[in-house]
Chain A
Amino acid sequence: MSLAFDLALCAFILGAAALAVAGRNLFGSVVFYIVYGVLIALAWLSLGAVDVALAEAAIGAGVTGVLLIGAWQGMKEAGALEDSQAPPWPVRLWAALGAALTGGLVITAIIALPGQDGLTRTVADEQGALALGNPVTAVLLGFRAYDTLLETLVLSAALAAVWSLSPERVWGGIPGPKHVSRPDGVMASFGRLLPPLGLLVGVYLVWAGADQPGGAFQAGTVLAAVWILIVLSGLRDEPRVSSLPLRAVIIAGPAVFLGAGLAGALAGQALGYPPGYARTAILIIEYALTVSIAATLALLIAGPARRLS
């Protein structure tokens, strides 16, 4: 990818970001944010970080975009959309000054960076012990597995936090609006056609994650998208918030991961995998994580419980 393409891409990114941040109409800003997310994914592709590009496209642009559209919808229904009045000029001036200062600081810091060669070689040397081809997965689930463990728990805590906002009278009910569609219409037929393919792609992403770009989070997002597709096309309704199997699915991934960590601790090396079995252990954890992440992301998008029927 040539420098010219990069510069053009960066220009587009900055343009999309400016429109997303300072756009007049809120819905317009949200849409431009999604465009911005996709462009950032392109930037990661141009940098050769395919894992991150996948994550950014799926989670950064995709799920966050859907969340923001959902929030916009919620605000519209609640009549709290008082957008398009520009903030008073002193605030804007101070914000601009602060932004310039921060930007300047960061740029001077970047320029003053010594040429650091980072840990690329170290990861390459060490990842043999985990028998994993993909260095990113080796870091995510091997060297810095503790970060990833905490992160999955952050997701579960976020879900508990979103559910804590449910009005008491509908607790135990179903999150999200009721979607209905003509039984044989386009939505219903596509809703039946695409999920198997989505499932296939998701499973492939996890399986490939060990040696090529992919992994639990990206796959989880794809599976969550499949779930949303099914619900959106009215084929199935969201599960009740209080259903036990749903809760079991949510905690399955983190529980397996934490269990592996604690088992390692009992065996003398916390979060350490038994020599030789590292790859299998990591794959098991990844599969469990994918299922839980898919469920958690879908439920985060659906939001707090909203209706009982």
Chain B
Amino acid sequence: MNLLFALAGAPLAFLLASLIAGRHGARLIWIAAPVITALAFWLALETHARPQGGALGGWMPPLGIALEADGLGAVLLLTCALTASVTGLFALGRYGGARPESARRYTFWPLFYGLWAGMNAVLVSRDLFNLYVAIELLSICAVALAAFGSRQAAVNYMMIALAGSLAYLLGAVLIYAALGTLDMSLIAQRAPEARASVLIAAALITGGLMAKTALFPLHGWLPPAHGAAPTAVSALLSALVVKASFVILARVWFEGLPGLAGAGVITAFGVLGAAAIVYGSVLAITQTGLKALIAYSTVAQLGYLFLVFPLAGGGESATPWTAGAWGAMGFHLSAHMLAKAGLFLAAGLMIYGAGGGRIADLTGLARAMPVTSLAFGLCAVSLMGLPPSGGFMAKYLMLIAALASGQWHYALVILAGGLMAAAYLFKPLARLFAGTGTPAIRALPHRSMALAPLVLGAAAIALGLLSAEPYALMVSGLPEAGEAGLEEAEP
């Protein structure tokens, strides 16, 4: 439990340090990245044995707050640490260096560590109100960073974030009023006592979190905000921020209120997820701007996550891993985190190099920027769900869960989603290889900046090849509803 607090506290400490460090705030990333990643790795080792947890200050819930990290939490903490570290080092190109302090170069770092702290706090906590404060810290940093790009998009993002947080807060308040506790495991025990109020509260919480996760039809704010932001920021927003609210949603339904979800709710999630995949992919295919395309791809990829609700049980098939869909969710979360961040970083480099944001401007860049193009390719492979990437493992496990439980319509959506992803990702990839000459490009601030997306892309591929360990970690300590499915699990 001390390790969990340290994981949430460390980025907070760096937030404060960067506030006072002024011009040298940028150099802190060289200390923060290894320290926090090491802590996350240590947690992963510990969680391998048994889920970590404990009450802060010794005060047991319902009075105090309990921090807890099961397998999935540990994997996400580690992937989040890796993604944030690499993106932070990448951001040195724009917000670091020996230049005098400027508004953005100074304030980027506290907001970056605030975002990272918000992510870690969300991943370790199981208390509804604590999750509210953590996700507010995350949201305010995310909106502020999005304002680095387009302020209009940031205002729209802010409005949705405000609405979402209010709905969530109202839900949490009603749950406390009904059950007298905010801790998820206690909520699970006491939920049946006040079914009506808890159901209404759950609906409000779900509505709020769906707005923050930009699930179709509440996704309008995401593409402009993520598309217009600077490279490092759009990577952070797409890869990390939208996932935090989904993780809370999954925890609320799978750990807080397992027996409560009726068939209607579960199918609603499935249908919305499928609609998000189709809608996001079709929009992505029609985009001409590269960053807009990747932003719509995020809308589509988030749809896959919501398919885990109907597929959770996966049926008692002959497959030895009945917890398929829970593992698939873990793989999809971490693979998308790595691949999407890598994709945005590579895209940012290419747009900076080619001097134009449209896909048509990328002609022949594979020859001029081979390493960045390779990184873009690796990340695209994982997003398309083609082997040997982490994305493929997620797709494979989800398909197995879908077919084993007889819900083959979801399998069709997943396969169609994969094909559409190939359609909109090979469009820029083909541009890279097209043309004969080698286009002249603008030199990057540091030659090594192309390594950042390459590391992330390689990590996404490695997640697919060496998937045994991460899988074992992900399904250790999974909630009982994760294995038996939302409906069958009695609270």
CA–CA, A83 and B232, complex, Å = 37
Which chain A residues lie closer than 8 Å to B19 at the CB level?
156, 160, 247, 250-251
Per-residue interface assignment for chain A, residues 84 to 114, with 1 indicating a CB less than 8 Å from any chain B CB and 0 otherwise: 0000000000000000000001101110111
Residues in A with CB closer than 8 Å to B4 are: 270
Q: A153-B117, A270-B5, A270-B56 are in contact. Are A163 and B65 (CB under 8 A)?
A: no
Q: List 15 A-B contacts (CB under 8 A).
A: A113-B178, A116-B180, A117-B180, A122-B62, A146-B5, A151-B133, A153-B137, A156-B19, A160-B114, A161-B147, A164-B103, A164-B147, A242-B101, A258-B13, A266-B2
Secondary structure class of chain B's binding surface, majority of residues: helix
A157 touches B114 (CB 8 A): yes
Known contacts A160-B111, A168-B102, A251-B16; A146 and B65 CB within 8 A of each other: yes
Selected contact of A150 from candidates B107, B137, B180, CB within 8 Å: B137
Q: Would A265 and B6 count as touching, CB distance under 8 A? A: yes
A155 to B: closest C-beta gap in Å: 10
A157 touches B9 (CB 8 A): no
B45 within 8 A of A: no
Q: How far is the CA of A108 from the CA of B178 in the complex (A)?
A: 12
Q: Is the CB of B388 closer than 8 A to any CB of chain A?
A: no
B116-161 residues with Cβ-Cβ distance < 8 A to A are: 117, 121, 129-130, 133-134, 136-137, 140-141, 143-144, 147-148
Also in contact, A156 and B136, with CB within 8 A (given A144-B64, A273-B57): no
What is the number of residues of chain A that contact chain B, defined by CB distance less than 8 Å?
Answer: 61
User: Which of B15, B20, B56, B102 is within 8 Å of A244, CB to CB?
Assistant: B20
How far apart are B257's CB and chain A's nearest CB, in angstroms?
Answer: 15
Chain A 130-163 interface 0/1 with B at a Cβ cutoff of 8 Å (1 = within): 0000000000001111110111011011101101
Tell yes or no: A43 within 8 A of B by CB: no
A272–B134 Cα gap in the complex (Å)?
Answer: 20
Q: Are B22 and A247 in contact (CB under 8 A)?
A: yes
- Residue of A116, A122, A149 most packed against chain B (CB within 10 A): A116
Q: How far is B167's CA from A286's CA once the two chains are assembled, in angstroms?
A: 31
> What chain A residues lie within 8 Å of B22 (beta carbons)?
242, 244, 247
Cα–Cα distance between A143 and B130 once the two chains are bound (Å): 12
Q: How far is the CB of B158 from chain A (nearest CB, A)?
A: 10
Check if A112 sits within 8 Å of B103, measured CB to CB: no
Name which residue of chain A comes closest to B167, CB basis: A102
Whether the Cβ atoms of B104 and A143 lie closer than 8 Å is: no
Could you say which of A118, A158, A166, A258 contacts B9, with CB atoms under 8 Å apart?
A258
Q: Known A113-B194, A126-B63, A164-B103; judge A157-B2 contact (CB<8 A).
A: no
| CB within 8 Å of A: which B60-104 residues | 62-65, 67, 101-104
Segment of B196-204, B243-251, B412-420 in the binding face: B196-204
Q: Is the CB of A154 within 8 A of B133?
A: yes
Residues of B within 8 A of A (CB-CB), count: 60
* Contact yes or no, B62 A161, CB < 8 A: no
Nearest-CB distance from B480 to chain A (Å)?
Answer: 25
Which of B63, B144, B193 gathers most chain A CB within 10 Å?
B63
Enumerate chain B residues within 8 angstroms of A142, measured Cβ to Cβ.
Answer: 57, 59
**Additional 16 contacts, C-beta under 8 A, given A142-B57, A161-B143, A273-B57:** A105-B203, A106-B170, A106-B174, A116-B180, A142-B59, A146-B5, A147-B133, A153-B15, A154-B133, A160-B19, A161-B144, A161-B147, A244-B22, A251-B20, A262-B9, A272-B58
Asked if A75 is an interface residue, CB under 8 A from chain B, the answer is: no
B106 near A: Cβ within 8 Å? yes
| Interchain CB contact under 8 A, B133 and A270 | no
Query: Residue B1 at the A interface, CB < 8 A?
Result: yes
B411 within 8 A of A: no
Q: Inside 8 A of A265's CB, which chain B residues have their CB?
A: 2, 5-6, 9
Specify the chain B residue showing the minimal Cβ separation from A305: B103
**Which residues on the B side are within 8 Å of A264 (C-beta)?**
57
- Does A71 sit within 8 A of B, measured CB to CB? no
The answer for the CA separation of A273 and B58 in the assembled complex, in Å, is 10
Q: Is B179's CB within 8 Å of the partner chain A?
A: yes
Sort A-B residue pairs by CB-CB distance and give the 7 closest, nearest first. A161-B144, A270-B5, A164-B107, A112-B196, A157-B114, A160-B110, A265-B2
Q: Give, as a whole number of angstroms, the nearest-CB distance from A263 to chain B.
A: 11
CB distance from A261 to the nearest CB of B (A): 6
User: If A142-B59, A269-B57 touch, does A171 touch B196 (CB 8 Å cutoff)?
Assistant: no
Give CA–CA (A166, B121) in the complex, Å.
Answer: 29
CA distance A177 to B5 in the complex (A): 42
The interface residues of chain A lying within 8 Å CB-to-CB of B268 are none
B4-18 CB contacts (< 8 Å) to partner A? 4-6, 9, 12-13, 15-16
